[in-house]
């Protein structure tokens, strides 16, 4: 069955992290995404190369030397038959190569040109290097995450994937919808700083309303509230507690053998540390899985903190197929879910099985392909994908 994005064609100039994540999401739901990588490319982390590169799933790839005139011309030809293009160069690099927005939209005025960067296409930091931790630090997000003693990076989930890849995928689809209505393409400037800031919109509202008055580990959702956080159990495992509403907290206290009335007034933040200690003492009397069983059928909003393997084996995740296997690699399933156009299990990353036909369908004639191969500009999949 065709996915929701069946018929969408996107070129992906291969990068790392958020750009491939955006392209993966599009491909997961039926878009035809062709990966363009430079010769002898190599990911900075060995696991981000070849069959273990989950972010490359569901797409074919070719090698195209964009430093050569013929390679650039081939890319522009491919762009003429695409709905979108994704690149993650530093600002100005694509223009210097001759494959920037003006060149690509000159060939295809309806093209949506997606640009994935950390700092954005302009601003004082646009030309400087950075990573997820830097982008969320500059937007204030990192300052709110972690224990009171120091901020802790939440992996690279917020900047790279939430504030970067997801925003770019949304921008590409919004741009395509606009182009199909107006016939005009445009540039999508997806900056991880912008996206990370956007993800914190609710926190800005809480701050404006006086409900986020303190530093780390002292507010409603950052581990400060005794009814929202993690607790250690007797076996060294942890449980996650999200009993914000009074009725959910009552179920939590009852399950722990405590009196809900002993935790009033709940809104008095000066009492939160002693309330937290009471709950911590209760959880510390039994192992994690004991509490998981106690609260499994309740509305106490208590769940065990699972490791990666345990998460894949959990009955709820198994029932929903939250994790799948593709090419022998366990990985998250495509999301979200569609009732009429469900996503298939993505194929592992691979070179195109019939490259000649594929490139012909994208607008490169057999003669052009032969010429590019003879000149060494066009290759198959990179060495990691052979």
pLDDT score recorded for residue 43? 54
d(CA 145, CA 151): 5
Residue 336 makes CB contacts below 8 A (sequence gap 6+) with none
d(CA 55, CA 59): 10
- The pairing of strands 323-326 and 186-191 is unpaired
Question: Could you write out the DSSP letters of every residue in 143-185?
Answer: GGSS-TTS----TTIIIIIIIIIHHHHHHHHHHHHHHHHHS--
Q: Give the chain's radius of gyration (CA, Å).
A: 25
Whether 160 sits among the annotated catalytic residues: the reply is yes
Cα–Cα nearest to 249, from 224, 226, 222: 226
Contact 74, 103 (CB under 8 A): no
**Identified catalytic residue from 49, 53, 83, 160:** 160
- The pairing of strands 186-191 and 228-232 is unpaired
pLDDT of the chain along its 386 residues, tens only?
A: 689 999 999 999 999 999 999 999 999 999 999 999 988 655 555 555 677 899 999 999 999 999 999 999 999 999 999 999 999 999 999 999 999 999 999 999 999 999 999 999 999 999 999 999 999 999 999 999 999 999 999 999 999 999 999 999 999 999 999 999 999 999 999 999 999 999 999 999 999 999 999 899 999 999 999 999 999 999 999 999 999 999 999 999 999 999 999 999 999 999 999 999 999 999 999 999 999 999 998 999 999 999 999 999 999 999 999 999 999 999 999 999 999 999 999 999 876 667 888 899 999 999 999 999 999 999 764 433 33
Residue 35 makes CB contacts below 8 A (sequence gap 6+) with 12, 14, 23, 56, 59, 60, 61, 62
Query: pLDDT per residue over 287-324, tens digit each?
Result: 999 999 999 989 999 999 999 999 999 999 999 999 99
Query: pLDDT per residue over 242-279, tens digit each?
Result: 999 999 999 999 999 999 999 999 999 999 999 999 99
d(CA 377, CA 386): 18
- The pairing of strands 32-37 and 228-232 is unpaired
pLDDT score recorded for residue 126? 97
Contact 132, 160 (CB under 8 A): yes
- Integer distance in angstroms from the first to the last C-alpha of the chain? 28
SS3 content of the chain, % helix, strand, coil (to 5): 40, 15, 45
Residue 345 makes CB contacts below 8 A (sequence gap 6+) with 324, 326, 333
The two tokens of residue 142 are 């990192």
**Identified catalytic residue from 131, 189, 314, 344:** 131
Sheet with 302-304, side-by-side order of all strands: 228-232, 238-242, 302-304
Which long-range contacts link 97-103 to residues 24+ away (Cβ below 8 Å)?
97/66, 97/67, 97/72, 98/72, 99/13, 99/66, 99/72, 99/75, 101/187, 103/76
Q: At what angle do helices 192-199 and 166-182 cross, to 10 degrees?
A: 100
Structural domains present in the chain: 9-199+324-385 (3.40.50.10540), 228-305 (3.30.1540.10)
Q: What φ, ψ does residue 145 adopt, rounded to 5°?
A: -115, 130
pLDDT score recorded for residue 356? 85
Half-sphere exposure of 288 (CA within 13 A, CB side): 16
Whether 204 sits among the annotated catalytic residues: the reply is no
């Amino acid at each position: 069955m065709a996915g929701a994005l069946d018929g969408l064609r996107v070129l992906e100039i291969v990068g790392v992290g958020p750009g491939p994540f955006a392209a993966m999401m599009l491909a997961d739901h039926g878009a035809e995404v062709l990966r363009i990588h430079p010769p002898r490319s190599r990911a900075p982390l060995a696991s981000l190369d070849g069959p273990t590169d989950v972010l490359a799933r569901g797409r074919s790839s070719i090698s195209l030397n964009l430093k050569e005139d013929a390679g650039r011309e081939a890319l522009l030809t491919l762009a003429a038959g695409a709905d979108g293009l994704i690149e993650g160069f530093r600002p100005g690099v694509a223009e210097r190569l001759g494959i920037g927005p003006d060149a690509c939209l000159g060939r295809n005025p309806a093209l949506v040109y997606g640009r994935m960067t950390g700092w954005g296409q302009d601003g004082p930091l646009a030309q400087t290097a950075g990573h997820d931790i830097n982008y969320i630090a500059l937007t204030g997000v990192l300052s709110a995450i972690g224990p009171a003693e120091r901020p802790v990076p939440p992996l690279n989930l917020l900047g790279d994937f939430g504030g970067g890849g997801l925003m770019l995928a949304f921008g590409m689809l919004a741009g395509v919808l606009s182009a199909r209505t107006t016939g005009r393409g445009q540039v999508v400037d997806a900056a991880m700083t912008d996206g990370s800031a956007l993800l914190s919109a609710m926190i800005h509202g809480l701050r404006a309303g006086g409900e986020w008055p303190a530093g780390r580990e002292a507010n409603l959702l950052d581990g400060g509230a005794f009814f929202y956080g993690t607790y250690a159990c007797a076996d060294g495992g942890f449980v996650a507690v999200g009993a914000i509403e009074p009725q959910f907290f009552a179920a939590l206290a009852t399950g722990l053998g405590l009196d809900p009335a002993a935790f009033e007034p709940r809104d008095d933040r000066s009492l939160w540390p002693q309330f937290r200690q009471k709950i911590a003492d209760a959880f510390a009397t039994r192992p994690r899985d004991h509490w998981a069983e106690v609260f499994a059928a309740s509305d106490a909003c208590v769940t065990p903190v699972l490791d990666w393997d345990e998460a894949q084996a959990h009955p709820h995740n198994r029932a929903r197929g939250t994790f799948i296997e593709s090419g022998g690699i366990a990985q998250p399933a495509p999301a979200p879910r569609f009732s009429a156009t469900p996503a298939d299990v993505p194929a592992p990353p691979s070179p195109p099985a019939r490259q000649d036909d594929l490139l012909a369908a994208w607008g490169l004639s057999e003669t052009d392909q032969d010429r590019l191969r003879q000149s060494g500009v066009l290759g198959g999949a990179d060495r990691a994908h052979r």
